[in-house]
């Protein structure tokens, strides 16, 4: 029983770590503001939720009332992140769009050109 539960915990947390890694690489490597925010928003929310679900599952090793309460609180945090994370990403994106930040690839249409420009700007 405990073996299966541990497998679930490791699976959830492992998937969370992988998504976290993806989000980090995305923030560092994506070419412009919008794609970077996309990576940060999507990857961060999902990976945090996965890791939290893993932690909540770990609490079920001793299924008494106290650890169930802890598991419930962790799931509650996951719900909060599910609501707030994408909303915050949306708000930042909206602010960026409002202050007219350029898209990737909109100038002259060519991708490599924009990448060079991005490098020159920094």
Partner 1 sequence: MKIIALLVSVALGVILLVATNDLPEWGDPQSPASTHLSRYYIENSMEQTSVPNFVTAVLADYRGYDTMFETAVIFCAGITVLTILRRSHRRKKKDVQPRPCREGQDIILKSAARLIAPMMQLFALYVLAHGHHSPGGGFQGGVISGASFILLSIAYDLEMLLSRLKERTIMFFSGLGVLIYAGIGAICLLLGGNFLNYSSWSKILQVSEVEARSHGMLGIEIGVFITVTFIMISLYADLASGGEMDEGL
Q: Which residues bind partner 1 (CB under 8 A)?
A: 80, 83-84, 87, 90-91, 94, 98
Compare residues 87 and 110 and give the one whose CB is closer to partner 1.
87
Q: How far is the CB of 83 from partner 1 (least distance, A)?
A: 6
Q: How far is the CB of 89 from partner 1 (least distance, A)?
A: 10
Q: How far is the CB of 50 from partner 1 (least distance, A)?
A: 21
CB atoms < 10 A from the CB of 10, how many?
13
CA distance 113 to 12: 41
Compare residues 97 and 107 and give the one whose CB is closer to partner 1.
97
Compare residues 13 and 59 and give the one whose CB is closer to partner 1.
59
Tell me how far CA of residue 87 lies from CA of 4, 71, 84, 103, in angstroms: 35, 25, 5, 21
CA distance 3 to 19: 24
């Amino acid at each position: 029983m405990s073996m299966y539960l541990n497998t679930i915990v490791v699976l959830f947390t492992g998937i969370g770590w992988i998504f976290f890694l993806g989000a980090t690489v995305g923030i560092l490597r994506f070419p412009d503001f919008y794609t970077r925010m996309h990576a940060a928003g999507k990857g961060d929310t999902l990976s945090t939720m996965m890791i939290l679900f893993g932690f909540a599952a770990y609490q079920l090793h001793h299924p008494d009332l106290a650890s169930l309460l802890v598991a419930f609180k962790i799931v509650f945090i996951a719900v909060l992140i599910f609501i707030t994370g994408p909303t915050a990403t949306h708000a930042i994106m909206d602010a960026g769009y409002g202050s007219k930040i350029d898209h990737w690839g909109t100038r002259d249409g060519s991708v490599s050109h924009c990448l060079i420009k991005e490098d020159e700007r920094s």
